[in-house]
């Protein structure tokens, strides 16, 4: 059956929250801190204007959602002493928001603002790379992967990053997604920032992402300061990157044009994730287990990202019942 990503009707929302939604599907990392989080709701499809909601326990949250059957439900990444007033900030999750419709170089034929199985798979590949960097380079392990409905949220709750400032979060994001052009004259990368150390070997991580981006370019791709001739040459010579032969690739492109390309790739990579979400200490995110009503998909905590398929694991029953 082909899944049509169209908005859910009010009747379909009612059926979902009455028959399918279960508060037990809300992740433990949210329930365990429920009294410290702000919740927000969109009841009419116009944005989350019902904010500053708090709940003392999962039962009260369940009752509210069962009655209201919201168009969308959200909760804060921040923990507060007084979440109802958003006062007394304590700490926040570090978040990477990868939306399939906003991937800078997509390999599908979707129109602007649309998503399909191909670009959703591309988004999944990206979050797998992000998870690997967080694990391998930073040693972070409390990483929760959530399918948001049109992409993925990577939600990190390791204590090492929970109290990080917005500036430090921005630096971490730049490292993780290869969005800062490395200094090609040395291999030091970032140094110690506040109390958190961003690993050495930054050029390696950058080339990992640069390779990903360059291998996804097409003849119609547009990059700042990269003309059509350079793009054609990149496409012609990029087979060297499949064998990690960066030296041959760089030599054939030429050092000046290579530097221009690398600068353009760094700017492209900055759009891989929504950095504004990552640095916002008071951001609210879609509540896992609830309905993304614009596309009739469930926001879902992912137990195994390797095998997760949104078109099998995040489709509400009412979608299958549509005629």
Q: With 70 as the cut, is the pLDDT of residue 182 above it?
A: no
What pLDDT is attached to residue 188? 37
pLDDT in tens, 115-173: 888 999 999 999 999 999 999 888 999 999 999 999 999 999 999 999 999 999 998 99
What pLDDT is attached to residue 244? 87
| Whole-structure pTM value | 0.90
Domains of the chain: 10-91+275-308 (3.90.920.10), 200-270 (no CATH)
What pLDDT is attached to residue 192? 42
| 81: phi then psi, degrees, rounded to nearest 5 | -70, -40
What pLDDT is attached to residue 111? 86
| Tokens, residue 122 | 């591309």
pLDDT in tens, 76-106: 999 999 999 999 999 999 999 999 999 998 8
pLDDT in tens, 247-296: 999 999 999 999 999 999 999 999 999 999 999 999 999 999 999 999 99
What pLDDT is attached to residue 16? 98
Read off the pLDDT of each residue in 38-57 and give the average, rounded to a whole number: 96
By annotation, the residues acting in catalysis are 97, 99, 274
Question: What's the CA gap between 57 and 78, in Å, rounded?
Answer: 17
Question: What's the CA gap between 96 and 273, in Å, rounded?
Answer: 6
What pLDDT is attached to residue 199? 55
What pLDDT is attached to residue 181? 74
Residues 2 and 44 sit within 8 Å (Cβ to Cβ): no
Question: What's the CA gap between 240 and 243, in Å, rounded?
Answer: 6
What pLDDT is attached to residue 279? 97
| Tokens, residue 300 | 């879902």
Cα angle 55, 58, 63 (rounded to 5 degrees) comes to 80
Question: What's the CA gap between 175 and 156, in Å, rounded?
Answer: 15
């Amino acid at each position: 059956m082909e899944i049509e990503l169209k908005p859910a009707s009010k009747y379909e929302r009612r059926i979902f929250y009455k028959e399918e939604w279960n508060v037990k599907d809300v992740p433990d990392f949210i329930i365990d801190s429920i009294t410290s989080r702000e919740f927000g709701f969109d009841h009419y499809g116009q944005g989350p204007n019902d904010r500053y909601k708090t709940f003392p326990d999962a039962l009260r949250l369940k009752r509210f959602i069962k009655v209201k059957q919201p168009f969308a439900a959200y909760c804060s990444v921040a923990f507060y002493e007084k979440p109802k007033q958003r006062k007394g900030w304590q700490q926040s999750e570090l978040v990477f928001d990868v939306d399939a419709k906003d991937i800078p170089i997509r390999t599908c034929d979707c129109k602007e603002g649309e998503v399909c199985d191909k670009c959703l798979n591309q988004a999944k590949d990206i979050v797998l790379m992000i998870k690997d960097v967080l694990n391998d380079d930073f040693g972070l392990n409390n990483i929760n992967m959530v399918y948001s409905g049109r992409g993925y949220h990577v939600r990190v709750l390791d204590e090492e990053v929970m109290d990080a400032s917005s500036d430090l979060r921005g630096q971490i994001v730049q490292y993780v997604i290869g969005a800062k052009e490395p200094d090609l004259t040395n291999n030091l990368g970032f140094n110690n920032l506040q109390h958190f150390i961003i690993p050495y070997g930054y050029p390696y991580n950058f080339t990992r992402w640069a390779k990903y981006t360059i291998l996804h370019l097409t003849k119609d791709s547009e990059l700042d300061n990269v003309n059509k001739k350079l793009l054609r040459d990149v496409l012609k010579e990029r087979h060297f990157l499949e064998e990690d032969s960066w030296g041959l690739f760089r030599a054939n492109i030429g050092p000046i044009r290579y530097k221009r390309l690398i600068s353009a790739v760094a700017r492209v990579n900055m759009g891989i994730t929504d950095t504004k979400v990552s640095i916002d200490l008071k951001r609210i995110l879609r509540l896992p287990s609830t309905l993304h009503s614009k596309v009739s998909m469930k926001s879902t905590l992912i137990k195994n990202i390797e095998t997760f398929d949104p078109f099998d694991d995040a489709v509400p029953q009412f979608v299958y019942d549509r005629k």
